[in-house]
Amino acid sequence: MTHLSYIKNSSKLAKAFLCLFAMTLTVSCDFEYELPEAGSITDITAPMASFSASQSEDNYLSYSFSNLSSSAINFEWDLGDGNTSTSKDVSNTYVSEGSYVVVLTVSDALGAKNTISKIVTVVKPPAPAAKVPTVLEASFEDNTLPDGTGDGRDSWRNDFGGVIQITSSPVQDGKQAAKFPSAGDRVAYQSGLEVTPNTDYVITYYYTIKTSPEGSITLNVLGGTIGSLSEVSSKSLASHVGTDQTDANTYVKVDLEFNSGANDAISLLITNEGSESRLDNVSIDLK
């Protein structure tokens, strides 16, 4: 029973509230237009202009502009050469090389604006020139390192064998050449010769071997570097085994072609067998 009377009471109360509420509603209607900003929300997503530019693959004067703006519906492009557009994304072909100031102005439905400008420098992309590696101490001469020092073989020292000897006669070029004694325990190795991948090169060098006993001198072009001689076969790009023993005083010219393959750098490895050999004047050029 107590519960019921409570509900009755409360319903009376509710009626009273309802009346009050209705009154306030009618009253508040009069103030609606006098308080236009009350309760309105500020625009927290103002337009932000943003774009990126990319040069066309087949015509370097053509650019595509990607519109990356947010909260914007109207776009005004000034492409810097007098051309304008109101499209979202645009592309433009410039008449000539030069710097152009590209301005993008964006706005939203409230008329809020935002502007960004970027300088687009139109230049012909340089044709990628293939690298030509420079062999250090290529002719085994003294003081020919870039800093003017060196004993003619400093660039060729390694852990794979003894250091090569230097001979002054016979030579093919300059005053000195590399000498490999008959024991075959000397090794010349030079790494870090920078090349362009997948490019055809030719390496030129000169060798001579004593007329007896039978022997040979081998030059290997290796992709990358090696940590031990066991890696030679797997990393060899090209090799030449010189076996011409007709005259110990006449150098034989070798032109060895190779393709650099998947390598940014190559190494050279020179070894001999059986007979005292000499080698001189190494150079690498594009084929």
Partner 1 sequence: MKHIKYIALAFIGGLSISCETNFLEPVPEVAVSSAGYFQNDEQIETGVMGIYDAIQGVNSTSLDDNRGVQIEYYVTEMRSDNTRTKSQEGEAAQFEEFNVTTQNGLVANYYRSFFNVIYRANLVLDNLENATAGSSAKFEAEAKFARAYAYFNLVRLFGDLPLVDALIGPLDTDIAFTRVPAANIYELIVSDFEFAANNLDNSQKNRASRAAAQGLLAKVHLTLGNYTQAQVLCESVIGGDYSLASNFSDIFYNESNNEVIFAVGYNPGVEADSQDFSAEWMNGVGRTAGVNYVTNEAIEALEAFGGDRATLSYRQDLSQATQYQVTKYLPNGEDGGADGKSFNTDATMSGNDWIVLRYADVLLMHVESILAGGQATSATAAISSFQQVRNRAGITSSVSEITKQDLLNERRVELAFENQRLFDLIRFGVAQEQLALFSGANGYGFSATDLLLPIPQREINLSNGKMTQNPGY
**List of residues contacting partner 1 (CB under 8 A):** 50, 52, 54, 56-58, 64-70, 88-89, 91, 128, 197-198, 259, 261-264
Nearer to partner 1, 54 or 250 (CB): 54
Question: Edge-to-edge strands of the sheet including 51-55?
Answer: 51-55, 62-67, 90-93
The least CB distance from residue 115 to partner 1, in Å, is: 16
Q: Which amino acid, 209?
A: I
Return the number of the residue (189 or 258) whose C-beta is nearest partner 1. Answer: 258
Count of alpha carbons within 13 angstroms of residue 63, beta-carbon side? 26
Q: Which is nearer to partner 1, 138 or 226 (CB)?
A: 226
- Tell me if 63 sits within 8 A of 92, measured CB to CB: yes
Q: How far separated are the first and last CA of the chain, in Å rounded?
A: 110
Q: How far is the CB of 111 from partner 1 (least distance, A)?
A: 21
- What distance in Å separates the CA atoms of residue 226 and residue 267, rounded to the nearest whole number? 8
Closer residue to partner 1, CB minimum distance, 69 or 216:
69
| Least spacing, CB of residue 81 vs partner 1, in Å | 20
Residue 143 tokens, joined: 């003081």
| Nearest-approach distance from CB 128 to partner 1, in angstroms | 7
Q: Please, which residue, 89 or 231, has the CB nearer to partner 1?
A: 89
Can you list the alpha helix ranges (DSSP code H) found in the chain? 2-29, 232-235
Q: Are 205 and 279 in contact (CB under 8 A)?
A: yes
Minimum CB distance to partner 1, residue 52 (Å): 8
Q: Could you tell me where the beta strands, DSSP code E, fall in 224-263?
A: 236-242, 252-259
Minimum CB separation of residue 143 from partner 1 in Å reads 35
Nearest CB to partner 1, comparing residues 62 and 165: 62
Minimum gap (Å) between residue 259 Cβ and partner 1:
7
Rounded CA separation 269/133 (Å): 15
Q: Residue 127: count other Cβ atoms within 10 Å of its Cβ.
A: 6
Residue with Cβ nearer partner 1 (67 or 74): 67
Between CA 11 and CA 8 the distance in angstroms is: 5
In the numeric block, which tokens belong to residue 192? 């870090």
